[in-house]
């Protein structure tokens, strides 16, 4: 496989760090790796895989000679630099929501719609973390049985909001145990008017509200799922909640498949044979997925598979995955691997 020059924008962040880890761990064919961040981090040394890397400030010239640029520094940085990177010859794999719903830009989960990469024009979007794990698990079901409806409630980890949110959970947990004042400055989102403690709490707001009453995170799940599945008629609705979990998103997913009379065993069999999916489902052994045990793992874990007693095509599933890996860094690296094969 041809070796490529890679850049990671946001290399000091929660996802950027994992992209570097995954590139090294998976023996991605790199010629060189350039770590980019803001001016604040320029000169910072990062050691990984026995190499020392010096972080550089992101400027337009950073992308000269780069073949693949991973972006994970927030939507405004992608908007500022992604087209510039493409102009200078790079393919951009963007982890932000900046271009996800742009019609000509592919939104890709390789297990689901690798074909969408054909004919890309330089920018490829990596979907929202909660969406990736859900569509990865639902794809084998949809392919075989059809899918008419999804109702999802998420239980999302703070690392999805970046490293400052992880720090906030840790600080608030210390403040709580010391009975001192709890300071909330980051969640539900840094730009929000009000901030609430996440420690020992559940916040039913991820990102800001749309005039419809849904949050942008919920709308991302609804719109991105339809785009990835290529099915604008699919009925999808979401409620997204932040929990005091560091890493690993969980989702309670209700689906209506395309035919009546399907059994739980059929779903088990489909999921057991699906790429990137692990079934953990045995109530007699209290076996079900949990974020604490999904952290650091590449797979999407599925359990609690039950038939809806009130609907002939309805099922409930519990889907858990590491939001920084399959939900972000791993999926991005898999997109790059697919491009190179
Ligand atoms: P920096 O560490 O220099 O602020 P997270 O998602 O964990 O919050 O990380 C955000 C990432 O985005 C960090 O790597 C951060 O770098 C990077 N970033 C923030 N602002 C900029 C910017 N203006 N240019 C490039 N990278 C940025």
User: What pLDDT score does 62 carry?
Assistant: 98
- Spatial CB neighbours of 279, under 8 Å, sequence gap ≥ 6: 268, 271, 272, 301, 302, 303, 305
User: What pLDDT score does 1 carry?
Assistant: 73
What's the CA-to-centroid distance between 152 and ligand 1, angstroms? Answer: 30
User: What pLDDT score does 2 carry?
Assistant: 86
251 shares its domain with 277: yes
Residue among 73, 75, 85, 92 whose CB has most ligand 1 atoms within 8 A, to mutate:
73
Please give all residues whose beta carbon lies within 6 A of any atom in ligand 1, as ranges. Answer: 9-14, 16, 37-38, 40-41, 58, 73-74, 77, 162-164
Active site includes 249? yes
Question: Pick from 154, 142, 153: which is nearest to 313 by CA?
Answer: 142
User: What pLDDT score does 183 carry?
Assistant: 97
151 shares its domain with 284: yes
Q: pLDDT 10s digit of each residue in the chain, 341 long?
A: 789 999 999 999 999 999 999 999 999 999 999 999 999 999 999 999 999 999 999 999 999 999 999 999 999 999 999 999 999 999 999 999 999 999 999 999 999 999 999 989 999 999 999 999 999 999 999 999 999 999 999 999 999 999 999 999 999 999 999 999 999 999 999 889 999 999 999 999 999 999 999 999 999 999 999 999 999 999 999 999 999 999 999 999 999 999 999 999 999 999 999 999 999 999 999 999 999 999 999 999 999 999 999 999 999 999 999 999 999 999 999 999 999 99
Question: For the domain that residue 292 is a member of, what is the CATH number?
Answer: 3.30.360.10
The parent domain of residue 267 ranges over 131-323
Name the 3-class secondary structure at 233.
coil
174 shares its domain with 279: yes
The number of distinct structural domains making up the chain is 2
Catalytic residue among 51, 83, 120, 249: 249
94 shares its domain with 212: no
123 shares its domain with 137: no
User: What pLDDT score does 190 carry?
Assistant: 85
User: In the chain, which ranges are continuous DSSP H helix?
Assistant: 14-25, 75-87, 110-113, 129-145, 163-177, 216-229, 264-272, 291-294, 330-340
User: What pLDDT score does 198 carry?
Assistant: 98
205 shares its domain with 233: yes
Question: For the domain that residue 71 is a member of, what is the CATH number?
Answer: 3.40.50.720
């Amino acid at each position: 496989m041809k070796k490529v020059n890679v850049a990671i924008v946001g290399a000091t962040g929660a996802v950027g760090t994992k992209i570097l880890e995954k590139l090294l761990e998976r023996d991605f064919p790199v010629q060189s790796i350039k770590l980019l961040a803001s001016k604040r981090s320029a000169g910072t040394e990062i050691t990984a895989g026995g190499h020392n890397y010096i972080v550089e400030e992101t400027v337009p010239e950073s992308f000269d000679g780069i073949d693949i640029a991973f972006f994970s520094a927030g939507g405004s940085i992608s908007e500022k630099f992604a087209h510039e990177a493409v102009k200078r010859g790079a393919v951009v794999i963007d982890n932000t929501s900046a271009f996800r719903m742009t019609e000509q830009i592919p939104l890709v989960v390789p297990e689901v719609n690798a074909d969408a990469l054909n004919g890309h024009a330089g920018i490829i979007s990596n979907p929202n973390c909660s969406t990736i794990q859900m569509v990865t698990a639902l794809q084998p079901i949809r392919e075989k049985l059809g899918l008419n409806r999804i109702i999802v409630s998420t239980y999302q980890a703070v690392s999805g909001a970046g490293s400052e949110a992880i720090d906030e959970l840790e600080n608030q947990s210390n403040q709580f145990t010391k009975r001192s004042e709890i300071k909330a400055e980051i969640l539900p989102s840094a730009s929000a008017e009000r901030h609430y403690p996440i420690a020992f709490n559940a916040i039913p707001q991820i990102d800001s509200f749309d005039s419809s009453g849904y949050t942008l995170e919920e709308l991302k799940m609804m719109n991105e799922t339809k785009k990835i599945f290529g099915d604008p008629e699919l009925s999808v609705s979401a409620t997204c909640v932040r929990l005091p979990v560091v890493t690993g998103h969980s989702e309670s997913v209700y689906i209506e498949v395309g035919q009546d009379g399907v059994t739980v065993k059929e779903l088990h069999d489909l999921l057991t044979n699906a790429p990137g999916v692990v079934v953990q489902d045995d109530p007699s052994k209290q076996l079900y997925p949990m974020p604490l045990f999904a952290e650091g793992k590449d797979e999407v874990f599925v359990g609690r598979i039950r038939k809806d007693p009130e609907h002939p095509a309805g099922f409930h599933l519990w889907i858990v995955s590491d939001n920084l890996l399959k939900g972000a860094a791993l999926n991005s690296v898999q997109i790059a691997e697919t491009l190179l094969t």
